[in-house]
Structure formats: structure tokens, C-alpha cells
Amino acid sequence: MKPVVWLGDSRARARDFPADARRVAGHELDRIQDGREPADWKPMPSVGLGVKEMRVWTGDAFRLMYLARFAEAVYVLHAFQKKSEKTAQSDIELARRRFRALIEERRRR
């Protein structure tokens, strides 16, 4: 199983999810670590190549943007509660900055 690497404050934000949303997100992350897809997701090419958004529905909508295409880890770029139909541009931009920083760091290695 791949380890999960939380970028920025994504882990703290996910910990702020209600218990039921944390539980669902944790089970879905286990699936991703095992090389499978979560139950509900969509591609997020506007953030970066290979970035996906895991959707967690528990009465409210919660999201984790992640990258699992590299062999060494599953990278969680951003975790947030979605409050409108369309993902906020600020959430997309934050995930995009973290994606770019990750890719740049991997290039330097």
C-alpha cells in the first residue's frame, strides 16, 4: 500500500470534517492506497495532470483533491467542504499551487 502524504494544511482540514465524513474519506483513501478508485470521484485536469477529486457525501459535501499516479505515495493536495455547486476557484488555485510545488520538488530530486 502506498503511504498518504498530506500537503500544506490538507490533513488539518480533513481532521476538521465531521466524524462521518472523516470515516468515509478514510475508507476511500484506503482504496486509493491499494490501487483502486474511490467510490465517487472526478478528474481535475484544471488542477494538474492526474489530479482527482474524491467526493464525500454525508448530508454535506466534502472533497479531497489528490494525486495517486506516482508509485511512491498518494498525495493529498487539498481537503475542503464544498458549499456551492461549482468548486470555488480559490480551492482549485490552492490545489494547483500545491501540485506545481510537488512536481517541482520531484524534478529537483
Residue 37 has a pLDDT of 96
Please tell me the pTM assigned to this model. Answer: 0.95
What tens digit of pLDDT does each residue of 29-79 get?
999 999 999 999 999 999 999 999 999 999 999 999 999 999 999 999 999
Contact of 106 with 67, CB cutoff 8 Å:
no
Residue 109 has a pLDDT of 84
What tens digit of pLDDT does each residue of 9-27 get?
999 999 999 999 999 999 9
CATH code at 4-108: 3.30.2310
End-to-end CA distance of the chain: 23
**3-state DSSP helix/strand/coil % of the chain, to nearest 5:** 40, 25, 35
